[in-house]
Amino acid sequence: MDTVTRVVGFVVGVAIITTTAASMFTTLVIPRASSARLLRSVTSGLGALLRIVVHRLQGYESKDRAIAIVGPLGLVIVFAIWLLAFVGGYGLVIWWVSGASLLSALGLSGSSITTLGILVGRSGPTRALQFVVGGTGLLVVALEIAYLPALYNAFSSREAEVTLLATRAGVPAWGPEIIRRHYRFRTVAELPDLYRTWERWAAEVSESHASYPSLMWFRSPDPRRSWLTAMVAMLDAAALHDSLCPHSAPPQARLYLQMGTSCLRSLASALRMPFDPDPLPTAGIRLTKEEFLEGVGRLIDVDFPAERGVEDAWPHFAGWRVNYESIVDQMTAVIVPPPSPWQMKRPELGEVVWPHVINRTPEHPGGAELGKG
């Protein structure tokens, strides 16, 4: 019976080693949306658990600090799971090879994979196997060290554009405010380049965040900013621009709408979120017509040259937004960005803060607000 048990342990150990190696290799070496199952599962589970806890915290900033640990902690847990799985798998193999007790075999495996060399096997085959275990440990650590710079480079690249958008879109970012500020400060000629920049940004985020889903939980240094909020603000601005000005709107706006929607869909697929890949323009959206009118009112204040009336523009805007709104709402519930206009209402996070500009001058140091507070 002891021999049979050890043989079964050997088979199970080989299976654990193979499965763990495949998981690590596909996640770190060949990243793609279908490769990071363990990382996605750990991060999603950790996020769901933490959302239960943060409901007890007061104020959005304290909630944001708590949620900010999800992405980094998820990585640490996944790395620990891989190492522990290798220790267990090789321990079972050493248990069969060495004939020692299971506890001793696990001790030899742990000593070897951490390259501490505290314990050494007595037989030749056991010592040879320990060299293999030690090499595996070094390989795991090397791959993880190489993985982190790539991850943080993607995060830094994403956040650079989010930070730059703050002066153009307000904090938190809002679609109508983007167009309003460009007309208010006479920088309309920069809008095509802005749409083009965010088209490339969406392509990069689609590639990196679908492959490394934990990046979606990495939060901006400023709790009032969020990559998801900024992305949706740009999508709303492009949809609003095209709906109100079908002839003069920059063609880059439509290109960004297509790329931004494609990005959200690839992220939703990575997180296993359901969505309609081809919704009808008349399917209806959560955003109300009253909210739409409120946003258009911001543009009327700066004499925005609309080619369509509000009533005619509304169905066109809704036809654009139906392509991405349901995905945004699902991701909002999971990632928990700050409350912002036109996003899903979440009273437990606090009131929506409207972006505004205060014009302070030596004559009027108190300033006059340019926009709704």
Cα(144)–Cα(148) distance, integer angstroms = 6
Total domains present in the chain: 2
User: Inter-axis angle of helices 70-98 and 2-28, to 10 degrees?
Assistant: 150
| Average pLDDT score over residue span 300-317 | 92
User: Could you tell me if 16 and 92 lie in one domain?
Assistant: yes
Residue 258 phi, psi dihedral angles, 5° rounding: -70, -45
**Size (the chain), residues:** 373
Give residue for tokens 């979606």: 216
**Residue range 97-107, pLDDT digits in tens:** 877 788 888 88
Report yes or no on 14 lying in a domain: yes
pLDDT for the residue 32: 60
Q: Are strands 368-370 and 357-359 parallel, antiparallel or unpaired?
A: antiparallel
The residue out of 146, 162, 194 marking a domain boundary is: 146
pLDDT of residue 1: 53
Same domain, yes or no: 123 and 213: no
Residues 142 and 178 in one domain: no
In a domain, 151, yes or no: no
Residues 138, 177: one domain?
A: no
Alpha helices in 271-324 (DSSP H): 289-300, 310-321
Same domain, 124 and 52: yes
Same domain, 141 and 182: no
Tell whether 214 and 141 lie within a shared domain: no
Position 346 in a domain:
yes
At 198, the pLDDT band (50, 70, 90 cuts) reads very high
Same domain, 141 and 174: no
Q: Which is more confidently placed, 58 or 175?
A: 175
Q: pLDDT category, 96, cuts 50, 70, 90? A: confident
Interatomic CA distance for residues 340 and 16, integer angstroms: 46
- Please report whether residue 113 resides in a domain: yes
**Residue of 225, 230, 247 lying closest to 177 (CA atoms):** 230
How far apart are the C-alpha atoms of 313 and 203, rounded to whole Å?
A: 28
Whether residues 204 and 342 share a domain: the answer is yes
pLDDT at residue 143 in the model: 84
Structural domain contains residue 164: no
Domain that holds residue 200: 170-370
254 or 27: which leads in pLDDT: 254
Residue 372 has pLDDT above 50, yes or no: no
pLDDT > 90? residue 275: yes
Q: How far is it, in rounded angstroms, from Cα 152 to Cα 159?
A: 10
* Residue 155 within any structural domain of the chain: no
pLDDT band at 276 (very low <50, low <70, confident <90, very high): very high
User: Are the C-beta atoms of residues 237 and 297 closer than 8 Å to each other?
Assistant: no
Q: What is the pLDDT of residue 373?
A: 36
pLDDT digits (tens, 9 = 90+) for 32-63: 655 567 877 888 788 788 777 777 777 788 88
Which pLDDT score is estimated for 166? 92
Domain assignment present for residue 243? The answer is yes
- Give yes or no: residues 212 and 348 share one domain: yes
In a domain, 23, yes or no: yes
Dihedral sign from CA coordinates of 139, 137, 156, 274: positive
User: Which is nearest to 60 in space by CA: 373, 340, 329, 371?
Assistant: 340
Same domain membership, residue 262 and residue 120: no
- Cα distance between residue 173 and residue 167, in whole Å: 9
- Residue labelled with tokens 């505004």: 356
Stretch 208-220: mean pLDDT: 87
| pLDDT score, position 368 | 61
273, 333 Cβ separation under 8 angstroms? no
Which residue is listed with tokens 């208010």?
A: 184
The verdict on 213 and 122 lying in the same domain is no
Q: How many CA atoms lie within 13 A of 30 on its CB side?
A: 7
State which of 131, 146, 161 marks the end of a domain: 146
